[in-house]
Amino acid sequence: MRIPKFLFFSILTLGLLLTEVHALEGASGKVEFLRVNDMGVAYGPPADRIHAEVIFKLVERPNLFLGFQLREGNDLIANQASLEILQEAFRGDMRVNVTYDQSSNSNKGTVKAVTIAPYNQRVLTSPRRASLLVILFNPNHEGRSVVPIDDIRNFLTSNNASIRDYFRKNSNAAFDLDVVGILGWYDGDLPPSEYTGTGKPVNLRREALNKAAQDFDFAPFDQDNDGILDPRTELAVMVVEPGTTDGGRGWIRYLEREQRVDGKRVTRVAHVQVTANGIQLQQGMNNSMREVLGTVAHELVHLTLFNDNDMYFSDFYVPFAAEDYSLMDNHWNHPHLDPFWKVKFGWIEPNRATSDAIYQLTDVTRSHRVLKLADPERGMHEYFLLENRFNGNPASYDRALPDSGIAIWHIIEDPSKIPPAQVFNQNDEDKAETIRESWRRANEFRRGIRLIRPVLDDRRDDFRDLWDGAEPHTRRAEPLELSWADGTPSGFRIRDISPAAERMSLRIDTPW
């Protein structure tokens, strides 16, 4: 979850000069600053007043100040909707598209429209390599023991069952995690109670960075010399502290106040807790090892690849949630990422089903191949992805999956086409309003990446998640008719699915 970073800047630099000649412009980016003023109040000196209630900036356009009013008039409803979109994007670290009028030779603009950017604009191809600095920090909590540094190094960088190996196997060697340093253990200077509780863990992260700066030169990693260390392309930082259980816990945290090391800003870090039992490399890996590896890998995806891609639902049951079949949902069993993220990161180029035929799908962890069902007449922001997920390979990170077979994913990239909230579990009927609110606030990746299960019921633990021709719930007389989000037939039909195995076949009928 993103911690909002309220940036303060002088209102003397702002102004919306609406009386000059305007030119319609467009911009796209993430919301860096968002401020809502009191209704009808002008701010600033007489020569440079702000006559707008909503002021914001985009990360990609640092010298452009955008705003609009929330006063009675023809645009009030539209502007209120634009504010809600900006607030959602600011909380969720999402990109927006903005249309605005810009005054001649001015760095100020009056907003006309704001929309959430489609997935293809918000998810960028991943870098080939990410540099990771690991800082080991001991806040000296009673009953917690530090993990030997050699164990942590093996956990991160060994050739098998490690964080680096996980990313190389997921990406088909397209992405590598380069651990540039492991520093510590550093002992905390404050009492242990000053590192836990509301607002206090930031003390741990800040002290860890300051101690690390005495032993590590951060400055050379700022390759574009903008004064900010980008965790995707320059340097990612992960703070590790001793945990309390054999499992792992992790968070991505924005530094609430500006943190500088060697004159460079570190804006966010991964913060994880691990124990010695949790990261020991054992034959086959026990549950604790799987959970810690999955937790750390999950947080590093946020930090080094794309931040706003959590996919879990914690408030209510959703039968099409990814759950155990994507690292960004249930990561306890360290599964591979789902195919949507692999395609968007540039790790997989899907094959297209272009005619009625029998298609072969081999275990995706070995073949790195998925099948895409898309109709150009429908548009390219809604489609289906098919992959073979197989838990019978003991060397695979998918070996702890609860089921094997064909995974059918319905991808809805256009947020406007995502169906409304539903109550799927009869036990959740009394939480209908909570469900609707949680659904509204959930990011589009939770709502728009949907696993089509053979059995749609209200059970989480029946392990009937994938399509296996040997199982009665898959071996049906009628073909599976795939539908678009609005309920209309897609024209794609699937039948004759073979039994779950490392190599599977299925027949696909296309709309053509």
Ramachandran quadrant class, 140 (left: phi over 0; alpha: psi -120 to 50; beta: rest): left
Task: Enumerate the CATH 3.40.390 domain ranges in the chain, comma separated.
Answer: 129-304
Q: Distance between CA atoms of 231 and 303, rounded to whole angstroms? A: 6
Instruction: Dig out the tokens for 168 from the structure.
Output: 């190389």
In angstroms, rounded to a whole number, what is the distance separating the alpha carbons of residues 344 and 124? 7
Q: Where in the chain is the domain with CATH 2.40.50.50?
A: 11-117
CATH of domain 11-117: 2.40.50.50
pTM of the model: 0.76
Lookup result for tokens 């909707």? 81
Enclosing H/E stretch for 210? helix 201-212
> What is residue 6's predicted lDDT score, i.e. its pLDDT?
30
State the amino acid at position 489 in one-letter form: P
Integer Cα distance of 365 and 382 in angstroms: 25
Element (H, E) at 445: helix 444-448
What is the helix (H) or strand (E) element at residue 378, kind and residue range? none
Specify whether the backbone of 214 is left (phi greater than 0), alpha (psi in -120 to 50) or beta: alpha
Architecture of domain 129-304: 3-Layer(aba) Sandwich (3.40)
> Rounded to the nearest 10 degrees, how much is the dihedral formed by the CA atoms of 482, 483, 485, 487?
-150
For 209, the token pair is 């960075």
What is the chain's pLDDT, residue by residue, as a tens digit (512 residues)?
A: 333 333 222 332 333 333 334 457 888 888 888 888 887 766 556 666 667 889 998 987 888 888 899 988 768 888 888 898 888 777 666 778 898 887 666 778 889 888 877 655 555 566 789 999 999 999 998 888 899 999 999 999 998 889 999 999 999 999 999 999 999 999 999 999 999 988 899 999 999 999 999 999 999 999 999 999 999 999 999 999 998 766 667 776 766 566 899 999 998 899 999 887 766 544 344 566 678 899 999 999 999 998 767 888 776 677 888 999 999 998 888 999 999 999 988 899 899 999 999 999 999 999 999 999 999 888 888 999 999 999 999 999 999 999 999 999 999 988 778 877 665 555 555 666 666 666 666 666 778 899 999 987 555 555 789 999 999 877 777 899 999 999 999 999 999 999 999 999 999 999 98
- Helix 163-171 with 287-304: angle, nearest 10 deg: 60
329, 335 Cβ separation under 8 angstroms: no
